[in-house]
Amino acid sequence: MFIGYYKVNIFLPESLSLKEKRRILLGIKEKVRRKFNVAVAEKPVDKWQIAELSFVCINYTRQCVDELISKIDEFLRLRNDIQIMECEKGIL
């Protein structure tokens, strides 16, 4: 069994308040959960234009985990309302 994770720091240029940040992140988290069936966690950050999200998935094959992480990465990179500052991927 393989565990894959994808941690990403993002910049939210359209966010002008913590309320706006929460709205954008909630939409991202719900869409990723529904579309890819993965666990999502947000690290608390007090700045309203910076966020850190972590995604975790489990599968019996390494290839499936790697493909799923790649699809999540592509999904986030295609969004116009966020910019990825840095990311970390891994399979355990």
> Taking Cα atoms as reference points, which of 34, 37, 77, 74 lies closest to residue 57?
37
Residue 36: burial class (beta carbons within 10 Å; 0-12, 13-18, 19+): middle
Whole-model pTM over 0.75? yes
| CATH number listed for the domain at residues 2-91 | 3.30.70.1120
Report phi then psi at 44, rounded to 5: -65, 125
- Above 90 in pLDDT, residue 75? yes
Q: Give the start-to-end residue ranges of the domains of the chain.
A: 2-91
53 with 11: CB under 8 angstroms? no
Report pLDDT digits (tens) over 43-57.
Answer: 998 888 999 999 999
- Say if residues 83 and 47 touch (Cβ distance below 8 Å): no
For residue 75, give the DSSP letter: H
